[in-house]
Amino acid sequence: MIEFQGVSKWYGTLKVLKDISATVDKGTTIVLCGPSGSGKSTLVRTVNRLEPIQEGTITVAGADIYAKSVNVNTLRMGIGFVFQQFNLFPHLTVIDNVMLPLRRLHHQSRKEALPTALLMLERVGLADKAHALPADISGGQSQRVAIARSLILNPEVLILDEPTSALDPEMVSEVLKLLRQLSGEGMTMMCVTHEMGFAREVADRIWFLKNGELTFDAKPLVFFSPEAHPDVRGFLSAIQKNH
Amino acid sequence: MGYQLDFGKVLRGEYLDLILQGVQTTMVLFVLSWVFGLVLAIILTVVRAIEFRPTQLLVAAFVEYHRNVPVLIQLFVWYFGFAVVLPDGVNDYLNDIGAEIGYAIVALALNKAAYMSEDFRSGMRSIHPAQMEAARSMGLTYLGAMRWVILPQAWRLALPALLGQTLILFKGTSLAAGIGVAELSYQARYIEEQSFRIFEAYGIATAIYMLISFAIMWLSAVLSDRFRLRVK
């Protein structure tokens, strides 16, 4: 579904992604983890060209995303993206946020878009908040709306960049529950997160990044075992100390 | 001192007609300058937001001229200055259809556009860059993101300042008297000269300006509250 081949990226002289090659199979969930500054956010942001790369190729569904024939806006319509800070549009109600891609990208009328958007809100359990403004709902609810909005055009891939890091602890589980459900439905997902319980339970593979390098790519069973890369074991024990 | 106030003399017959015509002309100046100014301000805002240095500098120069030169001079530049570079035939035609009010609307609209575009710009600056990123990441073009995500927030954030500009514009229409537009101030002056009812003529003009200004202020308060953007 997604293939990275020799991907490198520099900010000026600083090399932030180093020759990354890896594959995301269709219908699988990849969890990316690693210390801050390791390049995991940058890596997921390259998939919809929010971050340009200087070397290597990235293909999504078989197409090179930098090919001349690929329109960046069409590419992005096929990739849902969820941010740490939700980034709901504060001037629009919840339902209008979810409907915006249908109305402005698929050019549907409000009436046409409404049933689809309501169904999507039901799916994330927030139909009763349809007419609330983003300022009037909680962080966990905001993130679920943001996920609904990112799914409304039926993307083939869902990318989540630390979706629970900005949430109060009691709201993390409601978002993880939704992601678990999506993963179970066969959504192809790449999720940057520090939630190791979620990674162990939901991920098909876990990628560990350090200093811009993909140093370890394994199934959870191996990732959490003593055979894991020493960097991974160091990282896991550091995380556990904080919990 | 022997001066007997007599408002009645100014508030009937020919003088009343002149006052009403003056109010009408003032409102035409105000509304048309506001509409054209706002449309141009939106265009200026978008052009300045696009990362292309030459057009950004052009907009900046436009804004600085209109903010740093007195409005009366701007009116003179259009009415006296611009007219001399036009062919006589064009000037004759313009004078037939009312050059004064036309030039006044152009000058006031351009001036207001400069100020309003700065208000929009400061409104836009207070929007987090992640909003643009989120809009682009769903597949909207740059202009689409502007149209549906950034500008709808920018105008709400800019609204209190824009309404302040609206009030300033309304009062500023009186400067058009300087190039002979027969709006309310011009008529008050004319009536005063004809009738020697100096206090009455300006008193009535003052009352009318205040009445409309208060209406604008009241509307501003209502609109600012109604469209306030709440960001967590």
Domain ranges of chain A: 1-78+159-243, 85-154
Residue B100, min C-alpha distance to chain A (Å): 42
A87–B141: do the CB atoms touch at under 8 Å?
no
Q: Residue A213: enclosing H or E segment and its boundaries?
A: strand A213-218
What distance in Å separates the CA atoms of residue B152 and residue B146, rounded to the nearest whole number? Answer: 8
B131–A134: do the CB atoms touch at under 8 Å?
no
Is A62 in CB contact (< 8 Å) with chain B?
no
Measured between CA atoms, the residue of chain A closest to residue B153 is A91
DSSP A156: S
CB B108 within 8 A of CB B71: yes
Ordered alpha helix ranges (H), A71-184: 72-77, 94-104, 110-123, 139-151, 169-184
Q: What is the pLDDT of residues A69-83, one digit of tens each?
A: 889 999 999 999 999
According to the CATH classification, is domain B7-126+138-226 in 1.10.3720.10? yes
**Per-residue CA distances from A95 to A106, A117, A164 (Å):** 16, 7, 22
Please name the residues in contact with B124: beta carbons below 8 A apart, sequence gap of 6 or more: B45, B49, B150, B154, B157
**How many other C-beta atoms can be found within 10 angstroms of the C-beta atom of residue A147?**
24
Confidence band, pLDDT 50/70/90 cuts, at residue A242? low
Chains A, B: CB contacts within 8 A come to: 64
A89–B131: do the CB atoms touch at under 8 Å?
yes
Q: Give the A window 21-60 contacts with B, CB below 8 Å.
A: 48, 50
Q: Which of B130, B131, B140 lies at the smallest CB-CB distance from A104? A: B140
A100–B148: do the CB atoms touch at under 8 Å?
yes
CB B108 within 8 A of CB B169: yes
Residues of B in Cβ contact (< 8 Å) with A163:
none
Mean pLDDT calculated for residue range A170-175:
89
Residue B52, min C-alpha distance to chain A (Å): 20
Measured between CA atoms, the residue of chain A closest to residue B150 is A89
Residues of B in Cβ contact (< 8 Å) with A48:
137
Q: What is the largest CA-CA distance in chain B?
A: 77
Exposed, middle or buried by CB within 10 Å (0-12, 13-18, 19+), for A97? buried
Instruction: Name every residue in B having a CB less than 8 A away from some CB of A.
Output: 128, 130-131, 133-141, 144, 148-149, 152-153, 156, 229-232
Mean pLDDT of chain A: 92
B136–A76: do the CB atoms touch at under 8 Å?
yes
pLDDT at B31: 97
Q: Is B51 helix (H, G, I), strand (E, B) or coil?
A: coil
CB A216 within 8 A of CB A225: no
pLDDT at A75: 93
What strand order describes the sheet that includes A188-192?
A79-82, A157-161, A188-192, A29-33, A205-210, A213-218
Q: For chain B, give every domain's residue range.
A: 7-126+138-226
Residues of B in Cβ contact (< 8 Å) with A85:
128, 130
What distance in Å separates the CA atoms of residue B32 and residue A109, rounded to the nearest whole number? Answer: 32
Strand partners, A33: A208
The dotted CATH code for A1-78+159-243 is 3.40.50.300
Measured between CA atoms, the residue of chain A closest to residue B232 is A135
Residues of A in Cβ contact (< 8 Å) with B144:
104-105
pLDDT at B8: 81
Reading the block at residue A71, the tokens are 């329109």
Name which of A120, A132, A51 is nearest A90 in CA terms.
A132
Q: What is the pLDDT of residues A9-53, one digit of tens each?
A: 999 889 999 999 999 999 999 999 998 889 999 999 999 999 999
What distance in Å separates the CA atoms of residue A22 and residue B5, rounded to the nearest whole number? Answer: 92
* ipTM of the complex model: 0.90
pLDDT at A243: 56
Residue B48, min C-alpha distance to chain A (Å): 23
Residue A81, min C-alpha distance to chain B (Å): 7
pLDDT per residue, tens digit, chain B (232 aa), is 677 888 888 788 888 999 999 999 999 999 999 999 999 999 999 899 888 999 999 999 999 999 999 999 999 999 998 888 888 878 788 777 778 899 999 999 999 999 999 999 999 899 999 999 999 999 999 999 999 999 899 989 999 999 999 999 999 999 999 998 999 999 999 998 988 888 988 999 999 999 999 999 999 999 999 999 888 7
**Per-residue CA distances from A71 to A67, A151, B141, B160 (Å):** 9, 20, 11, 39
Half-sphere exposure of B25 (CA within 13 A, CB side): 25
Mean pLDDT calculated for residue range A130-141:
94
Name which of B172, B190, B170, B171 is nearest B17 in CA terms.
B190
